[in-house]
Structure 1
């Protein structure tokens, strides 16, 4: 769905799908705008959930892979939510603002996430409320962003009147606001309005391993390198799947790892296409997230077998270049 506020900004080339505004311009043009102009992406494929109640902090800490109790005020933390077998149901950001918490994740995974959280909360005093107002992503490359009079450090969050703004990465800011406040917070008239796919491109560029509905319960945190991205604590107490995640950390090693890749193909590539070795066609991994930048070029996050990282890889016949393998963050 597209908020009525943004309908007047739709371009004649706009593409709308089941989530909302996918692209407002030609996609290669949208990417160019990210690097050269003030932009904001309508995040119709993401969701922000507010968590309130006296037991919110304690309960959330028993559910997620990261240490909620270790969060500083007005901060942002990457985390995951697993089933009892240690397979991820959702990858998300936790935002802490005073005594309130927010969860930022994909529209594809919020329903199974909330279903499990509500099942486990039992008598805990905690409530989850989906924020249904405007949610936009702001490109903050070279400080060329559309926020007015608001400076954020990376992984910092602020509440401005009824709006919530937080910086998940050096180049990405997320704002949840409403039609009454948006024009006082954003330089709307001097900015380009983009579709959600432009922020997917930035998620891939920043190596943020969000998952979609077809990938729920497919990967452990280590397979998505969530431990290397500071999304897992190995010193906190129990959470669903903790024993398996910890055992992999202390007694073994995940056989797969997250990588950023690129390739060019005249054939249409989908998220369901598999990566394989060029010579003997052995399975090498899967696509996690994917954007098509122009007529042929794709950027992607892929889950690759570690024993295949030094092999020549292809996808649907196209040669794959590994741009970056995830290593330990500082």
Structure 2
């Protein structure tokens, strides 16, 4: 049975991609929606993401022992990036984590939600914690652009004071960065919020627009296509605050710590544009002369850019990046044109 929120989106003209569950658009040309995100304020249904709730008196300790970040130090009005890793230190999922009273909410790629729910539940054992998929109960709405504060105000909501801060209450607002927030609201209130946002001047836009904003911010989202591929530092995860090197053990911790303090990192994530006829996709291989016919990296996230190209986050060998000749899909495929990230990669 389709949720009331998805039914509402369908009624206001949202189009759901059959080959990519959770991906939504409001026009035949997602590129035009990305262009609106580049020039104005947009409102986006974040249906490509899902949310788990961890509740119970052991929730904090349970998550702390499994995740890459310090759950025990996560304050009520704060959010942070996090990951769950394989024993070999490879990221199985990336999360945005924040508090809801004594509970914890973990947002991740929707295509990994069911598997991660099952996987994490295997660790519960005798812990007093309950993991619940609350995606059907809540609507995640993204709002981005220069008029975020006034758009929130039109709906009776307040912009949190700084990046990764959270307003608590029945409707939660998570400030992702300077000009981007996520609203987490009960589905019964989501339709009215959407109407108020649009009435205040925000343009409806789809998943491509939000992914473009993630790319510009250098924020990776692990999906089925990239699961178990990358150690946290390859995705610059420690640079965006997704790893604590002071906390105790968790799955893959030894590898992550060794990479940070003892190893020489050979791969990093970079932002680039690709002028390609075929749309690049997450998981696509990349090639460079210094690796010949062997892949030198992979696409992490890809989406249409406002112009005729595509924009990507890509993990690749540092030597290939330094040589500045990296090709998409084949050794002679389209060249990547590298663009700056909002943080320093070394």
- TM (normalized to structure 2)? 0.86
1:96-136 Cα distance to aligned partner (Å, 9 max, x none) = 23312111111122223222211112111111222213221
CA shift for structure 1 position 68: 1.0
Corresponding residue for 1:289?
Answer: 301
Alignment partner for residue 22 of structure 1, among 24, 28, 35? 24
CA shift for structure 1 position 260: 0.7
Corresponding residue for 2:244?
Answer: 233
Corresponding residue for 1:318?
Answer: 334
CA contact (8 A) 2:31 2:306 kept: yes
Q: Which structure shows the bigger proportion of residues in helix conformation? A: 2
Pairing 1:233-252 to 2, within 5 Å after superposition: 233-252=244-263
Corresponding residue for 1:308?
Answer: 320
CA contact (8 A) 2:42 2:204 kept: yes
CA shift for structure 1 position 225: 1.6
Pairing 1:180-195 to 2, within 5 Å after superposition: 180-182=188-190, 183=192, 186-189=196-199, 190-195=201-206
1:105 equivalent to 2:118? Answer no
CA contact (8 A) 1:73 1:96 kept: yes
Mapped to 1, the partners of 2:239 and 2:203 lie a distance apart of: 34
Gaps of 5+ in 2: none
CA shift for structure 1 position 254: 2.2
CA contact (8 A) 2:23 2:48 kept: no
Distance 1:290 1:83, change over 3 A: same
Mapped to 2, the partners of 1:37 and 1:268 lie a distance apart of: 25
Mapped to 2, the partners of 1:214 and 1:134 lie a distance apart of: 25
CA shift for structure 1 position 93: 1.1
CA shift for structure 1 position 214: 2.4
SS across alignment from 1:252: coil
- TM (normalized to structure 1)? 0.90
Query: Runs ≥4 in structure 1, deviation > 6 angstroms?
Result: none
Alignment partner for residue 262 of structure 1, among 265, 269, 273? 273
Corresponding residue for 1:169?
Answer: 177
Gaps of 5+ in 1: none
SS across alignment from 1:217: coil
> Quick check: 307-316 or 174-183, which moved more?
174-183
Q: How many residues align?
A: 326
Corresponding residue for 2:13?
Answer: 10
Q: Which structure shows the bigger proportion of residues in strand conformation? A: 1
